[in-house]
């Protein structure tokens, strides 16, 4: 499996924001979102380690950290992802989350080794909305999260439409967050108030507040 970095930090967003997590970042993505903050991991010449499932499992267990985030890039593109999830499922003390961009079907991973999914819905400003796999909405559970990264009020309008169309707040956790330096969080709060957006959480990426926004490995 192609790993570009592995490290322990705090989870900067989603359900376990602020908690310790061990991150495994995989190389490569099938999308090219305009605001992507890990474009370097998708470059053809990006350096990576070729690690086996057993080596990744061993590293994760050695950290003694309960929360595991498999990210990218797009981790579901890794051919051995199913095998890794099966191996990690042998350790009931850990909690596995996959951060996925919403364009890949999660159905092959909805089995006895199912992780929690933090799934993006790419909004118009991203340039990747047409690549979304809408069938995934039927596979979500209450352990999953859908995340909308918003770069404009127009993005917020589309997020509201999708949340209501698929009744997402009744199915899973729902988060909205700003594209860094593109939309003011205060404006997003105003929109939430004006549109009565109950059961939706606004989230700021904590790691970009604590550290330099361009710093890797945090």
Query: How many helices and strands, by DSSP H and E, does the chain display?
Result: 5, 9
Taking 70 as the threshold, does the pLDDT of residue 118 lie above it?
Answer: yes
Q: Is residue 202 part of a domain?
A: yes
Give percent of the chain with pLDDT exceeding 90: 83
**pLDDT for 13:** 83
Angle at 80 between CA 72 and CA 126, to 5 degrees: 25
Residue 138's domain comprises 2-210
Burial of 150 (0-12, 13-18, 19+ CB in 10 A): buried
Q: What is the mean predicted confidence (pLDDT) over 199-215?
A: 78
Does any domain span residue 217? Answer: no
Does residue 39 or residue 101 have the better pLDDT?
A: 101
189: three-class secondary structure by DSSP? helix
Decide if 205 is inside a domain.
yes
pLDDT digit string, tens, across residues 127-140:
999 999 999 999 99
CATH number, residue 60: 3.20.20.70
Instruction: With respect to residue 127, please indicate whether it lies within any of the assigned structural domains.
Output: yes
**Which of 47-56, 82-91, 158-167, 197-206 has the lowest average pLDDT?**
197-206
């Amino acid at each position: 499996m192609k790993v570009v970095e592995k490290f322990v930090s705090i989870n900067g967003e989603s359900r376990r924001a602020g908690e310790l997590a061990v991150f495994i970042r995989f190389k490569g993505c099938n999308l090219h979102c305009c605001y992507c903050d890990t474009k370097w991991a998708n470059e053809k010449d990006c350096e990576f380690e070729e690690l086996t499932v057993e080596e990744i499992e061993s590293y994760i267990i050695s950290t003694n950290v309960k929360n595991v985030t498999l990210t990218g890039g797009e981790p579901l593109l890794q051919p051995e992802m199913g095998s890794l999830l099966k191996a990690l499922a042998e350790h009931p003390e850990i909690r596995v989350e996959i951060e996925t961009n919403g364009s890949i079907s999660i159905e092959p991973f909805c089995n006895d080794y199912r992780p929690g999914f933090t799934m993006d819905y790419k909004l118009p400003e991203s340039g990747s909305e047409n690549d979304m796999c809408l069938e995934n909405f039927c596979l979500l559970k209450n352990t999953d999260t859908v995340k909308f990264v918003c770069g404009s009020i127009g993005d917020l309008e589309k997020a509201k439409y999708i949340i209501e169309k698929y009744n997402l707040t009744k199915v899973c956790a729902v988060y909205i967050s700003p594209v860094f330096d593109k939309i003011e969080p205060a404006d997003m709060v105003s929109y939430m108030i004006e549109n009565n957006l109950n059961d939706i959480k606004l989230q700021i990426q904590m790691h970009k507040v604590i550290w330099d926004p361009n710093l890797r490995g945090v």
